[in-house]
Structure 1
Amino acid sequence: MPPLQLSHQQAVIRLQDIRAQLEDLERRDNLTADDEQTFDELTREFSDVDDHRRQMERRSALERVRSVTQVTERAPGRPGSLGVERGTPSGSGSAYDLDPILNPDSVEDRRFRNPWDLGEMRTYDRSPEQVGQEMKARAMCAVEKMAGANDRIRSAATDIIERWDDRRGTIAKQCLATSSPEYMRAWSKLAAGKSHMVSPEEQRALERAMSLTDNQGGYLVPFQLDPTVIITADGSRNQIRQAARQVVATGDVWHGVSAGAVQWRWADEGTEAGDNAPEFGQPTVPVHKADGFVPISIEAMSDAENSTTEVGRLLAFGKDTLEAGAFAVGTGVKQPTGIITALAGTASEMAPGTPETFDSADIYAMDGALPARHRAGASWMANRNIYNLVRQFDTGGGAELWERIGADMPPQLMGRPALEAEDMAAGFNPAVAADNHLLVYGDFSNYVIADRIGMSIEFLPHLVGANRRPTGQRGWYAWYRVGADSVLDSAFRLLNVETSV
């Protein structure tokens, strides 16, 4: 960027970078011809940038003098006295009248007038971790300033950045690129089919955002409208997601860490410690692509003033609905691995006490078979029809009533939450040979859902019918990535009422 186009803060940062580069060259024993040329070019640039900085400071000082010497009020009996339109008492600690040029933003103070202006960042001679730290600080500030977000969304976005961002600030970079006012305006125009109205500044914001994704085509949904953020903020309608452990993946695979229990011992004084280290494992959860389509009529788009926000809500609802089935019975092939798929055929699978039957004894057996360390945070999961069968186990008022096993306010079974999954088996037919996975019981924090933030969307200006003629509709084609799998099968028990002919 030419010196005359630099702001004061950018000029100061550039001077610091030039000085670091000159000192790096000076430390070398022998300079090549290219090094000598670089040294001369940096020296000339330093002089130009420093002159530009001094000129801006002089202008700023002159403006302050002019503002102070303007006659704005006249004190009684003292014609021509100087007045002050506004000011801050000395020592008050307020920054209301701080000079915006001589008091630039400070990453240490975590305050940024424009957190999205990354041209103010100094990157030379700084480690990726230091740059990532400032990225994260700017992203946290951007969350507080970004438009089109309520308090719940801001809280969810803050939590995602704080908990899941890596040391290089991958999520922070995406937040900064896709939450800026310029990007929000550009995306809103694209979503409304008005790409011809995108300004050069907004186009640059689009290009910055697209440089961060490996997706081909489409535009990233603004951070504040990303379905992952919205679902986190408003709560999922999918009860499996409510109980599962939710993480954010920054790559194609989420990598975790698991370990068995540490083997403690009783030790005599002064004796050598035993090798009590647990065996560490590294479970992985691959993320898979899913896509969806949102059609809308031209009339509805013309009448809707808040179509941009509505698109985000629709995408979040569709995403939640699609995932409900996958998290229960997903095959794991080009889609998440459902909890039933993960446990079927493992040591966690249990048979009923009496073949081809289901009664209250099986529920107690599942509770007894689950290790105590997992039982404290355990939940049940089944189709609603299975819970209705449980209510009918004893209609005579005995010890096996649902109310004795667990009252339905809120729904509980043996004092543990009873989650619903419509895609699980609703019953079984003894006349048909099949596996019937009726009930899951366990600690669902060991079922990991890995969301990849960064849904992309592409606007289609016209939809056509069977005869290839326009239908008067437009649409948004969207795609994103998510994965799920059990990372510790022993934390669950799965009841399989197997039937045979």
Structure 2
Amino acid sequence: MPRTRKRRDSSGDIDQFHFQDIHEARAELAELAARYGDAEEIPEGTQDHDRWEAAETFVTRAQERVEELRELAARPGCTEGVPCRTRPRDNRPGSSREYSAAMRVIERHRADELSDASREKITAAFDLARSQPDGAETRRLAEWVTVTGDPDYLTATAKLFSDPEYGHREWTREEYEAFMRAKNYQRAVGVYGTGAAGAFLAPFQLNPAILLTNDSTVNPIRQLARVEVITSTEWHGITSAGTSAHWTPELQETTESTVSLLQPPVPTHKRDTWIVSSIEASQSTNISQQVKDLALDAFNRLESTAFTLGSGTNEPTGIITALDGSASQVFGGASIDRADVIAFQESLAPRWRPAAKFMAALEFINELREFGLMANSVETSLVVEGTPYPKLRGWDLVENSEMDKDSSVPGANVLVVGDFSNYLIADSSNSVYEFVPHVFGSNGRPLGARGWYSFGRTGGDVIAPGFKLLSAGTS
């Protein structure tokens, strides 16, 4: 991403450019970024240089203005321009300078660097962190976004990707300082590596924890589940099966309602991948993008199985693993039929039905399509084709190739229904890339290849009883 070298006397140059709103300024930045491509800087003294600085300044000031208005809106009775002494200043963690700086970093990234889904994922993480009173999680998230989202950190790590042994000698002062800020944060959160060239945190634009989103993956569970980004190694939340309300006459003691608040932890587990390329290929200018794409594809396929069938030991607990053998399991006949499916849908508690979806392997989905379509049958199919998913009795039917496919096998787990926000995926923000300069063969001699070891942490589990599992009966 091109950038400009800030000049102390540039304010007079950029005042000639005017923008109607933040969208126009962002469009200007996108146009200049596309024009200069991979260039590190826009030449100083050019009109494009001043246009970039003017647009970037406009976006920064607009974001600061938005934060000011948000703080003002959160203080009832206060008016802009009038001192407000009736209420204390809003000192919530979300109003901190660190939070505002992190939001500006996110806004500066182009759409091709950070998708809308990734932005929403980070914003949701901040919303959750700001609900915690001490502000520690907000500060950790903000520091992570700020240090790994710095453009100088991205260019510094790009030089390491292309030349891990000597790339640091090409760093500018800004790149060196950005890399050291990220290193200090990495040490503070206890993420270490042992490679010959050391391990470094994934830049924001290359981080699987951010790039693995529900609209960029073929992983069906991640598409539907609740996803949280955390800075620790375990997610903690509070859930319950709900409580009861009552109609009570005046001056009469209320009816007791006992509710059990649960704190189901969702631990994260280490996932890693090993990528090898020839020395010649590793010298490509876009090797960092290629390594990122390969790592994302590997993690996607790994997670697809784990979120469905994972044992919970050194890997996430899959949704089938969590439901199999629980009170949520429902058995149909030895040969599941139309009546079994109808009864199964109706077994889901009413509170979970508004957002409920079905999930099954394609083979069983095709079997469902045939229900009611046999010779001499006047019944219609249970499945109606639709977009983006077909409908099973009015609810979305999502394909998951990891589930059991043959309903004639006793005990086969062929169909899940429920509100998938009750399956939680926890992604730790601290993904790491580590470089190995020489890969050796079985005889201990170099192969003429280099390797990248990428690792991070993720976890998953059912956190509330909002599902049912249909399994084939034994007789």
Alignment-derived partner of residue 261 in structure 2: 280
CA displacement at 1:221 relative to structure 2: 0.4
Do structure 1's residue 193 and structure 2's residue 163 form an aligned pair?
yes
Do structure 1's residue 358 and structure 2's residue 358 form an aligned pair?
no
- Determine the C-alpha separation between the residues in 1 that align with 2:357 and 2:228: 19
The Cα offsets for residues 216-242 of structure 1, whole Å up to 9 and x where unpaired, read as: 212110122211211227532111111
CA displacement at 1:108 relative to structure 2: 6.9
Do structure 1's residue 308 and structure 2's residue 293 form an aligned pair?
no
The Cα offsets for residues 108-158 of structure 1, whole Å up to 9 and x where unpaired, read as: 75789xxxxxxxxxxxxxx99669822111100112235772453663465
The Cα offsets for residues 50-104 of structure 1, whole Å up to 9 and x where unpaired, read as: xxxxxxxxxx9xx99xx9xxxxxxxxxxxxxxxx98879xxxxxxx999xxxxx9
Identity of aligned residues (%): 30
| Greater gyration radius | 1
What is the aligned counterpart of 1:255 among 213, 236, 241?
Answer: 236
- Residues 1:399 and 1:308: Cα distance change in structure 2 (over 3 Å): farther
Do structure 1's residue 380 and structure 2's residue 358 form an aligned pair?
yes
Alignment-derived partner of residue 227 in structure 2: 246
Q: Is the 8 A contact 1:463 1:471 kept in 2?
A: yes
- Equivalent residue letter for 2:273: G
Partner SS, residue 456 of structure 2: strand
Do structure 1's residue 141 and structure 2's residue 117 form an aligned pair?
no
- Determine the C-alpha separation between the residues in 1 that align with 2:451 and 2:201: 16
* Match runs of 1:22-61 below 5 Å: none
- Equivalent residue letter for 1:469: R
Q: Please list every run of 5 or more consecutive structure 1 residues that lacks an aligned counterpart in the other structure.
A: 1-59, 68-83, 89-95, 99-103, 113-126
* Match runs of 1:293-442 below 5 Å: 293-302=274-283, 304-352=284-332, 354=333, 356-393=334-371, 394-396=373-375, 398=377, 400-402=379-381, 404-409=382-387, 410-427=389-406, 435-442=411-418
- Residues 1:170 and 1:399: Cα distance change in structure 2 (over 3 Å): farther
Partner SS, residue 325 of structure 2: coil
- Determine the C-alpha separation between the residues in 1 that align with 2:398 and 2:311: 21
Partner SS, residue 213 of structure 2: helix
- Determine the C-alpha separation between the residues in 2 that align with 1:158 and 1:495: 35
Q: Please list every run of 5 or more consecutive structure 2 residues that lacks an aligned counterpart in the other structure.
A: 1-7, 17-49, 55-59, 69-89, 194-198
CA displacement at 1:442 relative to structure 2: 1.3
| TM-score between both structures, scaled by the size of structure 2 | 0.72
- Determine the C-alpha separation between the residues in 2 that align with 1:322 and 1:86: 49
Between Structure 1 and Structure 2, how many residues are aligned? 388
- Equivalent residue letter for 1:373: R
- Equivalent residue letter for 1:185: T
What is the aligned counterpart of 1:182 among 145, 148, 152?
Answer: 152
- Determine the C-alpha separation between the residues in 2 that align with 1:186 and 1:425: 47
Alignment-derived partner of residue 482 in structure 1: 458
Q: Which runs of at least 4 in structure 1 moved beyond 6 Å after TM superposition?
A: 84-88, 104-108
| TM-score between both structures, scaled by the size of structure 1 | 0.69
- Determine the C-alpha separation between the residues in 2 that align with 1:371 and 1:221: 43
- Determine the C-alpha separation between the residues in 1 that align with 2:222 and 2:215: 13
Alignment-derived partner of residue 72 in structure 2: none
- Residues 1:342 and 1:109: Cα distance change in structure 2 (over 3 Å): same
Alignment-derived partner of residue 26 in structure 1: none
The Cα offsets for residues 256-288 of structure 1, whole Å up to 9 and x where unpaired, read as: 111233321112234444444633221211111
Q: Is the 8 A contact 1:367 1:375 kept in 2?
A: no
Do structure 1's residue 446 and structure 2's residue 422 form an aligned pair?
yes
The Cα offsets for residues 133-184 of structure 1, whole Å up to 9 and x where unpaired, read as: 2211110011223577245366346524533435222111111111112321
The Cα offsets for residues 348-371 of structure 1, whole Å up to 9 and x where unpaired, read as: 11111x3x2121221111111111
Q: Is the 8 A contact 2:125 2:228 kept in 1?
A: no
- Residues 1:388 and 1:87: Cα distance change in structure 2 (over 3 Å): closer
User: C-alpha root-mean-square deviation of aligned residues, in Å?
Assistant: 3.5
- Residues 1:107 and 1:426: Cα distance change in structure 2 (over 3 Å): closer
Partner SS, residue 217 of structure 2: coil
- Determine the C-alpha separation between the residues in 2 that align with 1:326 and 1:280: 28
